[in-house]
Structure 1
């Protein structure tokens, strides 16, 4: 065992001891020993126990730990303390810019136990109010976590979108050096709005592919290498793999089609239509005797059968949205005031209404509202509704679902709200049976209007609550409870793979940004994308209702 390996084990032990508020003198001794071992000019593994005990700064106790490591490959004290520490907390120790003191605050005060939750908390601006943190520290932590995500080669759709926009401009400029009117479009998983992106496929149509390929060296930021005939790949500085598929213009739409849909969809359509040439993708489907299938639906499910009988859904668009439900303000853990959020919705987004759903009292880490503060907030909402009319702010709450499935306010309080979003934020480690029963009980509460982010998942970070989706959706159908599509790019929960089942059961969905600042409303775009992927139509989306319609809906629920 090398000195560095031993030093790392001792350093980790000292950090964990600090997390668990161990004796400061003992912590310092172990940390100093880690430094000493790392700097030794010889291999400590070549020494006997007696010789190790004589090394300056080690002493008998720490020498015994080093000897234990050398003899067994482990250290019992380290294993014991690791067993008492969540795995995600240990992983946080590797984040540059936060040491054990800050991690204790993150863990004990904010209730955050893994890097995914920490990243989400940065997006919600929850760190800046914690002791020892500020906006600069929060942004630095967020950047480090994004870098770690990039190292895994997988990206959230919203992260990939940034690169697509930049690359599209750069590629268009480059292409025009060889063709004045090139064709360019991104295909693959990105065009199908998948929530996780591992590769970007750009399809390029030009008059002279050979001339364009000859100019690839001009793209100095992306050193493309040949993968196959007319296909070139490079790794972006962002960490996401990029492929260029270069073809003659007459083959562009066939290649775009082939590289967009999953294999099952592509093969089934090509059996009906052949290989062209085609002037656009619509022609491909027309020649196959099919209605045009939007890219996001091309997953080899039942979209071909629906296209044969002209029964494809009329997919929702962003412009169909009339309001924004489930949002937070400075009353709990938001960045902007209630009035700022409302005015932004009214004047910038031109929406008809806002649903304010600050955290409930169980979310103490998020400055959740007790009963007295609810009354005060409702007074402010009444005043703003007079000031901003006809724009309407609905009185909502994100009420925590407790372990037994009950909500964390009495019926007397719950009935004062226009609508209630019921969400799980704690104890995400129940087995499927208990987790499902917990959600169903919350759904059966007569005051529950919307089931918020049903699994609590954080993409690329936390798998989410194990639930029996069908049973939970059936309960929502039976109790006329809406299910949220949480539009935050880290969540996109309810998963699109269950949208169709919910819609077939007559359950309304709601595209909710869970916005904690004005910019957060923009996430509704991602919610719409994932709703479209699940086959959502405007008439099946709660916040596509007009102000009059949703007012009637909330009143009927009461």
Structure 2
């Protein structure tokens, strides 16, 4: 059981107790435990009871429940509440943006007990009669329900890829001559996938149980770990099938392949076409006559956009910086949350100045490695930035990001961001749409206007590498590059382990054909310092 799995149990326990109007202190303690546990780096499953009790924000009662969960697979207290709560109401707790308060009204006042009933009620305008609800809230809930329904049976690339590699390893061990390769959305590095797809020479020769595949007796559906699996046979034409199953129809058609021929490898197919071999991540558009130099993880020289214990990070500024140094990076940009972000312990002016003093000390200690002073400034509702201008000007760079009021219409949302982009202190526009993959849709924006503003003001656009964000979307990068806008691949790391998330941003950027020269975080320390003085 992963740390995330364990943490989610306590989130559910706190929220379900809230539905039943239980003790506020206990609810808060369970939700606090969720926030603590989900950020831990070391596996909770390997800790003993005393270690669990010593964790700040956990304590004896919660530690006992963790031990109970790891031993039996259940938490008795949670099971008690699950027995008296309709299954559909529990499902609603998993829909981002609803929350226990709204669900309590929906369930107890309107007697709605499932997402399906709730969607029908929205379509029939029944929510507007409930206390605290109106037409706008009803429409917002309807959109969340539709997004939730569309997201079922889908998974984040980052969650599935490691399991897929384990399956391939098993295949290589048990069936080394099967020619097993990943195909489909995983192979082309799509941020959202529907499962694991594997191409082999002949499926009929595979004993799937021998490689860890589970088969549901009722449905016949196959899975590996938590994810559905599909197998395909390529036969003697496995090279052609490999390309077909990793390409868009546009790409495949443009190759003009004579499908009556036999191709035992992908290379043979490309040799017969007029195009060079394309890696799978570049097979979503028209084929290229030459393959450009595309960014790789090893091209990243600095880690930009990070958080520490000054705001909502798990590790100290020094621990974060040293992890970057040990990982071979040349510089580190600390960008804790600004003062309006009360939800994330945003920095007061006094704490900003305290952090600046620590940065100066650490830079003396760690040179030639360098820490840069930054802030992730909330873009306020009117488009202005947190802090007075004299404080903003003291940072080496400011990342401007939206974290609140995400339900604006497209014109107001665009105007809000453009005002922030035009602020002289803004150097990077952070996770522009605020989307959470499989959780919430992005901010609606007139992207042409946003990009024009960034180009005119020398503002870089972030590709936030957190696999739940990957924002901006890779499909927009080409338009930004056409306008001369730099892209910065940033992990938005809240712990030392999350620094490695930068790789997922690189994988997304590869789909857009981003080169190292077009990526701010691939700048050397010297180049980065020159860029800082260029505006």
Aligned to 2:196: 200
Q: Over residues 241-296 of structure 1, what are the superposed CA-to-partner deviations in whole Å (9 max), with x where a residue is unaligned?
A: 21111334x42222111111122211221x25545433532332232111222211
TM-score normalised over the length of structure 2: 0.72
Is the 1:254–1:275 Cα contact (8 Å) retained in structure 2?
A: no
Pairwise CA distance, 1:470:
1.4
Q: Could you tell me which of 226, 247, 260 is aligned with 1:261? A: 247
Q: Could you tell me which of 302, 307, 324 is aligned with 2:303? A: 324
Q: Could you tell me which of 277, 297, 304 is aligned with 2:282? A: 297
Aligned residues: 424
Aligned to 1:161: 161
Is the 2:127–2:138 Cα contact (8 Å) retained in structure 1?
A: no
**Alpha-carbon distance in 2 for matches of 1:456, 1:222:** 37
**Alpha-carbon distance in 1 for matches of 2:250, 2:150:** 29
Pairwise CA distance, 1:446:
1.1
**Alpha-carbon distance in 2 for matches of 1:66, 1:166:** 47
SS in 1 for 2:414: helix
**Alpha-carbon distance in 2 for matches of 1:530, 1:220:** 29
Aligned ranges for residues 121-520 of structure 1 at < 5 Å?
152-176=152-176, 181-205=177-201, 209=202, 212-213=205-206, 215-216=207-208, 218-219=210-211, 221-223=213-215, 234-238=222-226, 240-248=227-235, 250-269=236-255, 271-272=256-257, 274=259, 276-299=261-284, 301=285, 303-304=286-287, 307-308=288-289, 310=290, 312-347=291-326, 349-520=327-498
SS in 1 for 2:443: coil
Pairwise CA distance, 1:189:
0.9
Flag structure 1 segments of 5+ consecutive residues without an equivalent: 1-11, 22-34, 40-64, 92-113, 116-147
Aligned to 1:111: none
Pairwise CA distance, 1:158:
0.6
Pairwise CA distance, 1:192:
1.0
Is the 1:233–1:244 Cα contact (8 Å) retained in structure 2?
A: no
Aligned to 1:529: 507
Q: Could you tell me which of 72, 77, 80 is aligned with 2:130? A: 80
SS in 2 for 1:427: coil
Pairwise CA distance, 1:410:
1.5
SS in 2 for 1:83: coil
**Alpha-carbon distance in 2 for matches of 1:274, 1:382:** 64
**Alpha-carbon distance in 2 for matches of 1:13, 1:550:** 48
SS in 1 for 2:313: coil
SS in 1 for 2:497: helix
Distance 1:448 1:77, change over 3 A: closer
**Alpha-carbon distance in 2 for matches of 1:77, 1:257:** 50
**Alpha-carbon distance in 1 for matches of 2:319, 2:149:** 33
Flag structure 2 segments of 5+ consecutive residues without an equivalent: 1-14, 25-80, 86-108, 114-119
Distance 1:409 1:66, change over 3 A: closer
Pairwise CA distance, 1:169:
2.1
**Alpha-carbon distance in 2 for matches of 1:459, 1:356:** 25
**Alpha-carbon distance in 2 for matches of 1:499, 1:322:** 20
Is the 1:398–1:422 Cα contact (8 Å) retained in structure 2?
A: yes
**Alpha-carbon distance in 1 for matches of 2:464, 2:133:** 34
Distance 1:450 1:251, change over 3 A: same
* RMSD after superposition: 3.6
**Alpha-carbon distance in 1 for matches of 2:245, 2:499:** 32
Q: Over residues 388-422 of structure 1, what are the superposed CA-to-partner deviations in whole Å (9 max), with x where a residue is unaligned?
A: 11101011110111111111112111111111100
**Alpha-carbon distance in 2 for matches of 1:78, 1:401:** 31
SS in 1 for 2:339: coil
Distance 1:526 1:88, change over 3 A: farther
Distance 1:289 1:364, change over 3 A: same
Is the 2:431–2:471 Cα contact (8 Å) retained in structure 1?
A: yes
**Alpha-carbon distance in 2 for matches of 1:322, 1:434:** 36
**Alpha-carbon distance in 2 for matches of 1:513, 1:551:** 20
SS in 2 for 1:341: helix
**Alpha-carbon distance in 2 for matches of 1:66, 1:272:** 59
